[in-house]
């Protein structure tokens, strides 16, 4: 089952149009991914490793604005695993259940010197699996 994080939108999260813009939304989605990761591997354990997962591609689709005072839930889960990469899916819905955005983030795993490597076995469970 995917992990969930509730996020409250404050006025400081919004741009002059009064809604969360795309750059801030990417930050909020990243916060939800870190929260999901920490359930399976504390940050201290991740940072001490000689392997890294870096974002290679982000695909985000926005459906409804997020406004000050809104609460939304971000679901985060592992969607697929390749040889040197893995994909995480995220869906954000507001307190009324309306879709705010959905995203697919592709990570590539690298050695400490920056070369692609096979996804470590223990990382195959680093995020909860995505379930439709």
> How confident is the model over 59-75, as pLDDT tens digits?
999 999 999 999 999 99
Residue 131 located in a structural domain: no
Is beta strand 71-81 parallel, antiparallel or unpaired with respect to 51-62? unpaired
pLDDT at 48: 74
**Among 106, 41, 33, which Cα is nearest to 76's?**
33
The span from the CA of 34 to the CA of 6, in Å, is 13
Closest CA to 59 of 22, 32, 85: 22
CATH number at residue 86: 3.10.129.10
Q: How confident is the model at residue 1 (pLDDT cuts 50, 70, 90)?
A: low
- Domain span at residue 108 reads 3-125
Q: In this structure, is residue 130 part of a structural domain? A: no
pLDDT in tens, 34-52: 999 888 777 776 677 778 8
Number of domains, the chain: 1
Measured in whole angstroms, how far is the alpha carbon of residue 68 from the centre of its chain?
21
Cβ-count burial of 6 within 10 angstroms (0-12 exposed, 13-18 middle, 19+ buried)?
exposed
**Residue 64 placed within a domain:** yes
Give residue-wise pLDDT tens across range 108-117.
Answer: 999 989 999 9
Collapse the DSSP code of 60 into the 3-class scheme (helix H, G, I; strand E, B; otherwise coil) and give the result: strand
Q: Please tell me the pTM assigned to this model.
A: 0.90
pLDDT at 112: 86
Q: How many C-beta atoms surround the C-beta of residue 10 within 10 A? A: 11
Range 4-17 average pLDDT: 94
- The Cα–Cα gap between 65 and 83 comes to 36
Q: What percent of the chain has pLDDT over 90?
A: 70
């Amino acid at each position: 089952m995917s992990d969930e994080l509730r996020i409250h939108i404050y006025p400081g999260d919004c741009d002059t149009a009064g809604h969360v813009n795309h750059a801030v939304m990417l930050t909020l989605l990243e916060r939800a991914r870190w929260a999901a990761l920490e359930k399976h591997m504390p940050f201290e354990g991740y940072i001490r490793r000689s392997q890294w997962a870096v974002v290679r591609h982000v695909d985000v689709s926005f459906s409804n604005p997020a406004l000050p005072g809104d609460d939304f839930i971000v679901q985060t889960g592992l969607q697929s695993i390749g040889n040197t990469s893995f994909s995480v899916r995220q869906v954000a819905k507001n307190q009324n259940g309306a879709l705010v955005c959905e995203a697919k983030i592709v990570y590539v795993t690298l050695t400490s010197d920056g070369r692609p490597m096979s996804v470590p076995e223990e990382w195959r469970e680093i995020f909860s699996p995505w379930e439709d």
